[in-house]
Amino acid sequence: MSKDKSLVHYGDLLAAVIATAGPGCSILDWSLNLGTETVQGFASLMLRAKVKVKTAHGEVTEVNLMVKRPPALEVHAAMINSMGNIIEREGAYFNIAVPKLQEKCPQLPIVRSLVAHENAIIMEDLCERGFQTLCKTMQDMGRGNKLTFPIARMCVRKLAKIHAASLGVNWDEVIPPLDIAGAEIFKMLIGRGIQTIIPMMKKLFPEHRSLEKYAEFMAKPKLLDDFIEYMAYDDSRPPNVLLHGDCHINNMMFKLDKNGNAVDMRFIDFQIFRFGPACNDLIYLMYTSVNQAFRDKHEKDVIRAYVEAFNAAACITPDLLDFDQFWRIYERTRYFGVVMAMGIRPLQFMTDFQPATDQGELTEEAFATMNQFDDAMVQPAMLALENDPEFREEFRTLIAHAMDVLREFVFQK
């Protein structure tokens, strides 16, 4: 469905075209369409621009671009704006952070930005270069098992290059701070999933001798307050690096060979990037994009691949990271991981709660439905425990693991 051209400023489009096709070119015409096949991103409106261009040599060609704008839906925009201008923040990543990162890593594994400011970001169209997302829906993220061990290993090796390139910079003096006040929305979203987890825990583990203590702890605000604290700079969990901040499989795009194997990847969506412990990006990936069976089998090898790639990219002797020491730091971050998983995984499995859309565009009715999850999720979740073996196994293993991780917090004096 074609979109209103006024959603993109002509001057921004021309600047992006010049950056792509060279100086002296002109725009003959352009069209806008929704940039994703399914529902639009939580924090922004994604558009695909097809631009008919006349080059300085008189040739006519087409340039494809991706445009990120604040949400078009007023109620949606109001909620996102309460977190601060995250389009402007992502623009700061491309305008301020990327040039510094490129001093050490000229070929950053990230999408290329052509224009970035407080109202819009215009980027290369990675799809045109053969990249694709592996997950088209929330269900793909939950039930699809798209993050295989080879792909996970590729992701963390690329991530290590970005992290290592950020060493030696006091980022708190360079980048705008993340508005933790906006984290109230983060807590609200995660809290909804956890309110669904509590009755599932009671159903799955009715004989657990400390069941009520866990339920009481998970219902208190402190759970999420402590979760937010894990997001910040922390000298006790080195190294502190420039984090992606939202490091899950759907914020990555992959180039696949003819056999479906990933041969290259790029990171996208840097709206909540920040300065903090490197293990935060890793734990985020491991608890939003894979299940407990994957972690049991592959987690340590994935983290080892990260450490090896980080040391190679840092190119400092002796190695900056010792694997055993870093693994202990990673283990101490599991609180952040399990709270994230309890908040996110229910939505990834309960696909009835993906909002209905008109060709991918979020409507006021769909947005209202999303904001009723608190009351509406519990009953379907309890039915799924009875009737959906995959759902039951996912949350039986996740909740058991979460209780193990949270034990010392539940019983601390």
In terms of DSSP bridges, do strands 60-69 and 45-54 run parallel, antiparallel, or are they unpaired? antiparallel
pLDDT at 358: 47
Instruction: Give percent of the chain with pLDDT exceeding 70.
Output: 87
372-392 residues labelled b (16+ CB within 10 A) or e (exposed): ebeeebbebbeebbeebeebb
Closest C-alpha among 282, 289, 291 to residue 330: 282
The predicted model gives 174-178 an average pLDDT of 82
Residue 359 pLDDT level (bands cut at 50, 70, 90): very low
pLDDT tens string 242-262: 999 999 999 999 999 999 899
pLDDT value at position 144? 87
> Could you report the per-residue pLDDT of 368-385, keeping only the tens digit for each?
555 555 557 888 899 999
Domains of the chain, by residue range, sit at: 5-410
What pLDDT is recorded for position 80?
64
- The confidence score (pLDDT) of residue 177 equals 77
pLDDT tens digit string along 13-26? 999 999 999 999 99
**Per-residue confidence (pLDDT) for residue 82, from 0 to 100:** 62
With tokens 């002109």, the residue in question is 26
Quick: pLDDT tens for 73-102: 666 666 666 666 788 889 999 999 999 999
pLDDT in tens, 291-320: 999 999 999 999 999 999 999 999 998 999
**300-305, long-range: CB < 8 A, 24+ apart:** 300/327, 301/149, 301/153, 302/149, 302/152, 302/153, 302/156, 303/156, 303/327, 303/330, 305/153, 305/156, 305/157
Q: Identify which of 134, 133, 115, 135 has the alpha carbon closest to the alpha carbon of residue 124.
A: 115
Question: Which burial class, exposed, middle or buried, applies to 276 when counting CB atoms under 10 A from its CB (0-12, 13-18, 19+)?
Answer: buried
Q: Which of 38-47, 223-232, 319-328, 353-362 has the lowest mean pLDDT?
A: 353-362
How would residue 184 be classed by pLDDT, with cut points 50, 70 and 90? Answer: confident
Q: Is residue 363 over pLDDT 60?
A: no
Among candidate residues 365, 241, 232, the one with its CA nearest the CA of residue 313: 241
List, edge to edge, every strand of the sheet that includes 26-34.
26-34, 45-54, 60-69, 121-124, 113-116
For 404-413, letters b (16+ CB in 10 Å) and e give: ebbeeeeeee
**Average pLDDT of the segment spanning 330-349:** 95
Q: What value does the mean pLDDT of the chain take?
A: 89
Can you give the pTM of this predicted structure? 0.92
How far CA 285 is from CA of 91, 299, 403, in Å, comes to 23, 11, 20
**Which is higher by pLDDT, 239 or 84?**
239
Count CA atoms within 13 Å of residue 381 on its CB side: 29
pLDDT tens per residue, range 134-170: 998 888 888 988 999 999 999 999 999 999 999 999 9
pLDDT of 209 > 90? The answer is: yes
Q: What pLDDT score does 309 carry?
A: 98
